[in-house]
Amino acid sequence: MEPTAKSEITIQGIAASRGIAYGQVFLYLQSELEIPHYTVDPDKRGAEVARFEQALLVTRQQISQIQDQVTKNLGEEEALIFDAHRMVLEDQALIGETIRDFEKSGLNIETCFNAVAQRYIQAFAEIDDEYLRERAADIKDVAKRVLHVLLGQSALNLSDLVEKRIIVARDISPSEAASIDRSAALGIVTDAGSRTSHAVIVARSMKIPAVVGTNDLTTKLQNGDWVMVDGYEGCAIINPSEQTLFRYGKIQKARETFESRLMAVNELPAETLDGVAVTLRANIEKPDEVALVRQYRAAGVGLYRTEFLFLSAAKMPDEEEQYAAYKEIVAGLAPAPVTIRTLDVGGDKPLPGAPQLFGPEANPFLGFRAIRMCLENPEMFKDQLRAILRASAHGKVELMYPMISGPEELARADALLAEAKAELTARGQAFDTQLRGGAMIEIPSAAIAGDLLAGQSAFFSIGTNDLIQYLLAIDRGNNRTAHLYDPTHPAVLRMLRQIVETGHQHGLKVSVCGEMAGDPLYVPLLLGLGVDELSMTPTMLPAVKFIIRAMKLSEAQALAAEALRQTDPKQTQALVEAFYQERTKAG
């Protein structure tokens, strides 16, 4: 039964797992759990707490079973995501708060646990950080399991699906995703979700094409409808016409060929056609990403966002804990260099382990963030500096300060670095005595006064994500202004050129570690502007390497010069797109 009689509708979402799939829909609509609400007799309150503890235990066993199953099917690395789930179950804050709420209110434990879990989910979901928002998904998934156990209902799963179908759901939890039979799931589309959701990671590892964030696709479909899932462009096409099917047949072939061309360069050097080698490094958030850095042959790490160690912890990690994490990365990648960035929290990234450090702020992005917060908490900052210094004894470390706005801040950070070094010397602990700090250039004032920073800085690393936001006065998290966030704005290009020129005049290496560096469209522009090094999400390395190997540096320089002459960002965008297409077309 072909669908051509119905009209075709395209729904745009987010491309989450590459590939194209076409088939009939299996609408997976989990019903909301009904949570009873009642008061527990005072003499039964001990038993209620015991019931809660038993439910946590049973849930833990369930998660271990799923983890074993996923380890068997997908390997240990994919199964690691369930460690995060077990951590939720062991979270003393979540459990303690539930019991305290219960003791205070006397309401049944499901009600108390659900209320506390919802508060946590809400708090994480509001954080403007994709990785941390995913922690909300972990808590949601685990809380649902615990509630199912408490209510004596079995948890939903997708393993009943046996016929080949496109799974369309509001959201899919990691454990639900793990129970999917690969041979039955042609594709996955969800209303909610982001590129880094754990369910998507599982889909990607099973090579199931997936699109997330379609908002309300589930309301537009019925079981048995036909859908095309385009995991490259991030769209779902309901009832595709014959023409669309034909077009997709061709696209799929071309994409498959292109993917294999991309992966074919993984082992090859990042070298332009005129023989210029480009250093490509990886951005990481956690020590377990060292494996990805190796897999994608990155020349070390260009940005390690240390705040993730702090943001997911209930209490501030001390020097020893930090040292262990930093050492694992540095020793794991030695002799390749690892750029460790000091804490960038505050503003939209509150510190759960030290809420007392922050108060309410009207403009958090312009507020008490990153180096500003560290300089006002010197003991906390020195804990981190000593941990980084100690890690430098195990390989090659570069130290980077975020959100530097001018020379005075850099000097104050360096003074604390000198104190941290003296303290380690007094303790007799080893570190790289030559280690110096480098400034991230991500505030326009730092770019304009770059010459005043250069003498004190070991290198410049441009954070385009924040630089563009602050230069254009565009809150990148605001939907209404997102379209104005433009890397090809003439002011952005001029500023990038100025930073590179200033850095080079002072003999400094200039790298880019913002998202622009991992976008193959903008890579020629950055290299043409003279950027020395690029650091990006590990999985983007092959695509970036591919364009580097397909162009001459001299051509990229001509492109940058032409881009700098443009007044309209759209023209510049058209130029970079034409440059890219010309060099990546098959042939």
Please list the active-site residues: 198, 513
Nearest to 247 by CA among 525, 20, 572: 20
Are 279 and 517 within 8 A, CB to CB? no
Are 2 and 245 within 8 A, CB to CB? no
Determine whether 385 is exposed, middle or buried from the number of CB atoms within 10 Å of its CB (0-12, 13-18, 19+): buried
R_g over Cα of the chain = 26
Nearest to 488 by CA among 460, 448, 451, 524: 524
Instruction: Report 336-365 residues binding ligand PEP (CB under 6 A).
Output: 344
Which of 466, 519, 533, 555 binds ligand PEP (CB under 6 A)? It is 466
Q: Which residue is at the shortest CB distance from Mg ion?
A: 466
Nearest residue (CB) to Mg ion, 285 versus 466: 466
What residue 464 binds from Mg ion, ligand PEP, none (CB within 5 to 8 A, per partner kind)?
A: ligand PEP
Neighbours of 549 (CB within 10 A): 16
- Strand ranges (E), 300-377: 301-305, 337-341
What residue 513 binds from Mg ion, ligand PEP, none (CB within 5 to 8 A, per partner kind)?
A: ligand PEP
Give the nearest distance from C-beta 467 to ligand PEP in angstroms.
7
Residue 230 DSSP label? E
What residue 281 binds from Mg ion, ligand PEP, none (CB within 5 to 8 A, per partner kind)?
A: none
How many CA atoms lie within 13 Å of 323's alpha carbon, on the beta-carbon side? Answer: 17
Give the nearest distance from C-beta 434 to Mg ion in angstroms.
26
Q: Residue 195 interacts with ligand PEP (CB under 6 A)?
A: no
Nearest residue (CB) to ligand PEP, 102 versus 381: 381
What is residue 176's three-state secondary structure? Answer: helix
Applying CB under 6 A, which part among 52-60, 198-206, 457-465, 570-578 lies near ligand PEP?
457-465
Nearest residue (CB) to ligand PEP, 209 versus 346: 346
Q: Residue 513 interacts with ligand PEP (CB under 6 A)?
A: yes
Q: Which helix (H) or strand (E) holds 95?
A: helix 92-105
Which of 231, 352, 407, 514 binds ligand PEP (CB under 6 A)? It is 514
Applying CB under 6 A, which part among 115-123, 220-228, 420-428, 464-472 lies near ligand PEP?
464-472
Longest dimension (CA), the chain: 82
| Residue 460, both tokens | 């410049």
Give the nearest distance from C-beta 51 to Mg ion in angstroms.
46
Size of residue set near ligand PEP by CB under 6 A: 10
What residue 555 binds from Mg ion, ligand PEP, none (CB within 5 to 8 A, per partner kind)?
A: none
Q: Residue 281 interacts with ligand PEP (CB under 6 A)?
A: no
Applying CB under 6 A, which part among 158-166, 288-296, 461-469, 521-529 lies near ligand PEP?
461-469
Neighbours of 250 (CB within 10 A): 9
Distance set, CA 534 to CA 262, 293, 468, 538, 541 (Å): 18, 14, 17, 11, 10
Nearest residue (CB) to ligand PEP, 544 versus 551: 544
Q: Which residues bind Mg ion (CB under 5 A)?
A: 442, 463, 466
Which string of x and - marks every residue 292-311 that binds ligand PEP (by CB under 6 A)?
A: -----------x-x------
Taking the C-alpha atoms of 399, 401, 402 and 408 in order, what is their torsion angle to the nearest 10 degrees? -170
Which of 442, 532, 533, 555 binds ligand PEP (CB under 6 A)? It is 442
C-alpha span between 56 and 53 (Å, rounded): 5
Q: Are strands 20-28 and 14-17 parallel, antiparallel or unpaired?
A: unpaired
C-alpha span between 435 and 454 (Å, rounded): 16
Applying CB under 6 A, which part among 82-90, 115-123, 261-269, 460-468 lies near ligand PEP?
460-468
Q: Which stretches within 506-540 are classed as H helix?
A: 523-528
What residue 214 binds from ligand PEP, Mg ion, none (CB within 5 to 8 A, per partner kind)?
A: none
Which residues make up the interface to ligand PEP (CB under 6 A)?
303, 305, 344, 442, 463-466, 513-514
